[in-house]
Structure formats: structure tokens, C-alpha cells
Amino acid sequence: MPKSSGVTVFDDLPEWLVVDEILVRLPAKDVLRCRAVRKSWRGGTSTNAFILNHHRHQPSLPIIRNTEGIYRHVGSPTDQKIQRVLRHADPFTNEMTVCHAACDGLLILEKQSNFYICNPTTRKCASLPHPPEWSRTSAISVVGFYRLHTSGEHRVLWVSYSKQVSYLVFIGAAVSTELPDYFVLTVGSDQPRCIQWSIVSKHGYPSTLSHISPPVHNRACLHWATGFSITVFDTVAETFWQMSRPAQLGDKVSLLVMGGSLALCCTTNDCVNLDVWVLQDYDAETWGFQYRFNLSAMEALPPFKFDFNTLPRMAVINERELLIEQCVGRLLHCDIDGVFLGYVGTKEPGKHFMLTMQRLQESMISVPLFEAQEEDAVNKEPPFVMVL
């Protein structure tokens, strides 16, 4: 509040305290507004150190979607539990924007086989170069997106695969001898590098459907639940390997991170209970049972019909709250004790919310592609609308 003399209370505080202890904790939109207040604030909040520190202070929130756009769920402290991040340019067509990956507040999106990297907070967007398709019978997809902690570079893991191989893997049939090709592309470069795939396994391929089963990032590695094991990609060594997991959990499992550790979410055969197992020792690959959620016993839970063909999935909002996609079109908000807190979204056909299994941690981080394409009027307007 300004004093009667026109001087604000911030004038009584050291500049470093305002920047490093106050502004760093504000939402990104407020920081961007504060840059217009003082030249010193603009300079202090524009350094790489501030931007990374500010990013670490922001909550990591689950991304959900429906036919109208992409959203993030902000939990219960505010009245507005859902914030729209992106709106499809034309929600009345089947050509919706697909979110393939998220890292450091940056999203990789696909629209009509074209890929884009964007920061919805700063509303910056650029086209993303990708490996060429080898033939009409092959396709490409993003299977991972990460920041290399040794250099700070953002990198994309691509896969080029036979459409026949993708179908065989999806249905769990025997896979042909034609293996997928994996590439790593540093964001800002147009020269992808081929990564050797050394694991020969019927169920070992990271999912080509990254918008449905994205990898979980933990300990500088990407992790996918593949069959009865976990496929791991070491982002530093750029090698693949496989981690064991409890075989008794079956193949209906999904990965997430709880309390900084890898966790497995699995459903019982009757689809009534949802169990969570946590990786207690990463190096020894030992897992321990942590939680059981009885979906049919949740307080005030509306009646429902079990779908035995759907894999229930879970996302952590914060230390106490969860989202559970019980079946298609049914997204539940509950706490860690299994108390039902509400139904997310509307029951209107086609507009229900679904989990993407990706997370958005707001940031002001930029990448070289943004600056390189700002002067290109043709690529300036993406085929979707960022509204965060």
C-alpha cells in the first residue's frame, strides 16, 4: 500500500529481499506485471537464477483435458479448482490439439501431425523440428521431454516406428523383428541423434501413445510401465534398461511420483480397489504396499458401473489430495484417506474431463526456438489458443 508521501512499503525493504523472497513466490503473471513497476524489479526477475528459483516455488499440478481444451487442476484452497491452459482453435472438429509432454512449464503439442513447443504462461510458441518419416508405413511420435541437469538443455526423445509394430505392441501380440528407432533432439537444434535400442522384449517398448501413457521423470531418468516391468531411459548416459516390479500386480498398472519416489497404481481384479505401491529402494528395486482406496466405499460417492476394460489412473494434487480417473468420463477428487471430495467436471456427454498423466509447473522459462521464430510472422500464430 502506498504511504501518504507516495512511497510504498517496499521502499523500506532491501532490494534483494523483495526480489529473492517476495517476488520469487508470486505466480508468474504477477511477476510479469511487477516488471513494469520498476526497472530494478525487471532486471532482478529476468535473470536465469531468478527464473529457475521462481519455477521451483510453483506447485506442480495435474493436467486434465476435454474436447474443448487443456486445463490444470489447482486443488481445493481456491474456489476455482480448474484453470484452462489452452483452448482448441476449433473444438467442433476431430482435429484437437494433443499434449504429448510437459517439462519445466513447457508443453509439447501436436496438431495435424505438426509439433510445437510452447510456454502457456508467457504465451510463447514455436514449431518443433522432428526426425523425418522414413516411409508411408512409418510414423513418428514424442515419447519423452526433459531438461538435462548437467547442461540445462531441454531435450526431446522421439520414436520412429512401423505402424504395424505399433499396433502389435498395443494389442500385446508378438512383435516383428523391426525395432523402433529412437532419437534425441536438443531444443534449438535441427539435428536429432539416433539412440541405440538394446532391449529386445515383447513388452519393452516405451509407449508410442505418449499423450495417454507419458513417462515419469525421477532421478534423471524417464520411466514407463511396460508389460510386467518398467523400461527406464537414463537421460545422461542415453541408454535404456529395465527395472523389475511386483509381478502379482498384473499388467493394469500406471506410474506416478508420490513423495519424491516412484509409485505404481494398480486395480484389483474386481476394479473396486485401487492399490498404490511405492519404490522403497531404487537401487535394490524393492517395492512396498502403501495405500488402498476402496472406490465403492468412498463417502458420498455417486453410484457407478465398473468398467473392467478401463485402467483406473491416479494423479497427486498435493500432499493430501488426489485425482482418480475411475473410468472414462468419471474423474474423482479425493483425499489420501479415501474421502470423496467431489466430482470433477460435468456429466454432459463429450465434455467430461480426463487425466493426461502429465503435470504443469508454471514457469517463465524460455528456449532458443521462441526467440528464433518471433520474427517469423508465418509461424507466430499457432493453431490453438493459449489462455492461462
Percent of the chain with pLDDT strictly greater than 70 = 75
Q: Which segments within 154-238 are labelled E, that is strand?
A: 154-162, 181-186, 193-195, 216-218, 221-226, 229-234
The whole-number average pLDDT for the span 168-193 is 68
Predicted TM-score of the model (pTM): 0.85
What cell numbers appear for 343 in the block? Answer: 466430482
Sheet containing strand 313-316, edge to edge, reads 313-316, 321-327, 330-335, 340-343
The amino acid sitting at 120 is P
The structural domain count of the chain equals 2
Q: Are residues 198 and 161 in the same domain?
A: yes
The amino acid sitting at 39 is K
Q: Are residues 40 and 85 in the same domain?
A: no
CATH value at residue 346: 2.120.10.80
Greater pLDDT, 108 or 203 = 108
The amino acid sitting at 333 is H
Count the neighbouring beta carbons within 10 Å of the beta carbon of residue 202: 14
What cell numbers appear for 303 in the block? Answer: 453410484
Q: Are residues 45 and 122 in the same domain?
A: no
| pLDDT of res. 299 | 62
Q: Are residues 50 and 71 in the same domain?
A: no
pLDDT in tens, 33-76: 999 889 999 999 999 999 999 999 999 999 998 888 899 988 76
Instruction: Report if residue 89 sits inside a domain.
Output: yes
Instruction: Report if residue 123 sits inside a domain.
Output: yes
| pLDDT of res. 327 | 72
Query: In the 8-state DSSP scheme, what is residue 151?
Result: T
Range of weakest confidence among 273-282, 331-340, 347-356: 347-356
Q: Are residues 318 and 223 in the same domain?
A: yes
Q: Are residues 26 and 112 in the same domain?
A: no
Q: Are residues 144 and 213 in the same domain?
A: yes
Instruction: Report if residue 154 sits inside a domain.
Output: yes
pLDDT in tens, 164-176: 544 444 444 444 4
Strand, helix or coil at 334?
strand
What is the DSSP annotation of 8-29? BGGGGS-HHHIIIIIGGGS-HH
Query: In the 8-state DSSP scheme, what is residue 297?
Result: G
Q: Are residues 181 and 314 in the same domain?
A: yes
Place of cell 508470486: 26
Q: 219: phi > 0 → left, psi -120 to 50 → alpha, else beta; which? A: left
Q: Are residues 45 and 92 in the same domain?
A: no
pLDDT in tens, 119-140: 999 999 998 887 665 555 567 8
Instruction: Report if residue 227 sits inside a domain.
Output: yes
Which of 26-30, 209-213, 346-350 reaches the highest mean pLDDT? Answer: 26-30
Domain that holds residue 23: 8-57
Q: How far is residue 360's CA from residue 182's CA, in Å, rounded to a whole number?
A: 25
Q: Are residues 101 and 193 in the same domain?
A: yes
What cell numbers appear for 22 in the block? Answer: 517476495
Contact between 111 and 98 under an 8 Å Cβ cutoff? The reply is yes
94-127: b or e for each residue (b if 16 or more CB lie within 10 Å)?
Answer: eebbbbbbbbbbbbbbbbeeebbbbbbbbebbbb
Contacts of 83 (CB under 8 A, 6+ apart): 71, 72, 74, 388
